[in-house]
Amino acid sequence: MTDEIHFGRFGLNLAQGGLLRDGKLVPLGNRALEILIVLASAKGEIVTKDELMAQVWPGRVVEENNIQVHVSALRKALDDGSTNSSCVVTVPGRGYRLIGIPPQASVDRAAAEPVPEAAEHPSIAVLPFRNMSDDPDQDHFTDGMVEEIITGLSRFRWLSVIARNSSFAYKGRAMDVQQIGRELGVRYVLEGSVRKAADRVRIAGQLIYASNGAHLWADCFEGSLRDAFDLQDRVTATVIGAVAPRLEQAEVERAARKPSENLDAYDHYLRGIASLRRETRPANDEALRLFYRAIELDADFSSAYCMAAWCYCQRQSNGWIVDREQAIAEVTRLADGAAKFGKHDAVALCWSGHALAYVTHAVEAGAALIQRALILNPNLAAAWDFSGWVNIWLGKPEVAIEHFAHAIRLNPLGVRMGGKQARVACAHLCAGRYDDASSWAEAALGQDPNFAPALQVAAASNALAGRLEAAQNAMRRLRELDPASRISSLRSADPAPRLELFARLEEGLRKAGMPE
């Protein structure tokens, strides 16, 4: 191992114990410096809290918050006031790791070595977008937008995001993405360009798998520079809304290829998501088993708690719940765990909040968790979607329509667009706008002609609007798919505390021919 390690703007002399930023000595306490040396020597691997205590405080018993104090000081020195993701990453329930260290700075490795798959969580570097115009002032707009994207992605707790001061070290340098991935120790790289013409600007972005250069996502956006801040916000929200789900899908696919004997808590969690998406009863059972196993391996894994709770949502919507009291108790327990261990995890809060509202009918409590998620991450499409549902159940269809629309804007190309359109249709039905409800229901059926919730709204809205033939056609198709459909079965699954909120749906379905 070399006595010097360079990462981003920093240099660390292991022999003399000095930290340099841009060649200048950085004031740093002895304990914080010792922690940095231990993390740097680990070459990006996780260092447990016990290992830190043994190496930095050998032979002494110290409180855990002692580490936290010195790690906080270390982060302050490395991040240089940045509000973006830190170079020092906390791995929940495990320890810490230092990201951004080039592997070749520590050991002799081939230049073509792929990004190590040993990283505990997905990681990404957002590179400075290239300014393709002749206007150097355009750099301010471009850099500001990239900083907003870094900040937005940093709000996803499952994703490690390289700090701005490390990723911006590559500004103006023509480098291979795979090399950047190796140097920063990330699985994914987001890059792009900005081209200005008069008062118009064209922004292109692409998400790349760093180990082999494969493109996972690409898109472009156009807008006017007359309101640059509005354009920045719109592009930032759209990029984050598209990139985050694609990253999650790539991680699920990666976990599926991993040998079973090497699975950790995170891999069990990802495989659970893959099983849940198959939407069969055996797959649901397997997903719940995988999420429980993830919790066994990492007791404070908030995402595993929330997705285990979501298994019960799928069971409820498909009529697979046998013991309702047990399901309510378990969802309550899992949602409490997600909220306890995921206080700053918007994904855990919004999914568990929806499960709490839908399965246990604790709508206000679920809505509170979802609202906390929106505060933590306003670019999380799922949180806006779930907020739409709870606002329907709380008797606020206008708010629901607004939140559903925002969820679609954040992820306009996401899967299950028919489901999103059906939710908007339901909100319009609850608001008494039957023409709008039937139009959105028809759009949803255009995506999936057999989607039962869309058929329900189509039948009810057309019946209430006096279009009885269209209503009966939708009801006939619904009864073919589910001959056991009854008004009473819908009422028993209604999570709203006041059944009159769905009075229009029941009235319309009754007129369309659904039996009691």
Give kind and range of the element (H or E) at residue 193: strand 188-197
Distance CA 131, CA 135 (A): 8
Domain edge (last residue) among 57, 77, 105? 105
Return all residues near 413 (Cβ < 8 A) that are at least 6 apart.
Answer: 242
Nearest to 334 by CA among 305, 360, 311, 359: 305
Q: pLDDT value at position 85?
A: 53
Positive or negative torsion for Cα 338, 342, 343, 349 = negative
Specify the number of domains making up the chain.
Answer: 4
Do residues 86 and 139 share a domain? no
Residue 468 structural domain: 416-516
Residues 218 and 265 in one domain: no
* Band of pLDDT at residue 105, cut at 50, 70 and 90: very low
Single-letter amino acid code for the residue at 259: P
Domain with 486 in it: what CATH number? 1.25.40.10
Q: Examine the domain organization and report whether 422 and 405 are in the same domain.
A: no
CATH number of the domain residue 185 falls in: 3.40.50.10610
User: How distant, in Å, are the alpha carbons of 49, 201, 224, 293, 324 from that of 313?
Assistant: 37, 44, 43, 19, 12
| Extended beta strands in 32-161, E state | 47-48, 88-91, 95-98, 123-126, 130-131, 160-161
Tell me the average pLDDT across 456-473: 93
Is residue 407 domain-shared with residue 493, that is, in the same domain? no
> 262 and 387: one domain?
yes
Q: Cβ contacts of residue 88 below 8 Å, gap of 6+?
A: 39, 71, 74, 75, 78, 96, 97, 98
Given this model, what pLDDT does residue 92 score? 63
Q: Is 45 left (phi over 0), alpha (psi -120 to 50) or beta?
A: beta
Are 39 and 147 members of one domain?
Answer: no
The verdict on residue 172 lying in a domain is: yes
Sequence-ordered list of residues with C-beta below 8 angstroms from that of 139, at least 6 positions apart, any chain: 131
In a domain, 425, yes or no: yes
Mean pLDDT of 383-397: 91
Are 297 and 340 in the same domain? Answer: yes
Same domain, yes or no: 275 and 290? yes
Is 188 contained in some domain? yes
Q: How far apart are CA 102 and CA 367, in angstroms?
A: 44
Which DSSP state fits 115? P
Identify which has the larger pLDDT, 384 or 409. Answer: 384
Instruction: Mark whether 56 and 202 lie in a shared domain.
Output: no
Q: What is the mean pLDDT of residues 136-154?
A: 82
Q: Is 390 left (phi over 0), alpha (psi -120 to 50) or beta?
A: alpha
216 and 284 part of one domain: no
Query: 79, 105, 131 — which closes off a domain?
Result: 105
Which tops the pLDDT comparison, 49 or 311? 311
Please determine, for residue 292, whether its predicted confidence score (pLDDT) is greater than 90.
yes
Secondary structure letter of residue 206 according to DSSP = E
Q: Which span out of 70-84, 210-224, 283-297, 475-489 was modeled with the highest average pLDDT?
A: 283-297
Q: Residue 119's pLDDT band (boundaries 50, 70, 90)? A: very low
Residue 15 lies in a domain: yes
- Together in a domain, 58 and 129: no
pTM value is 0.67
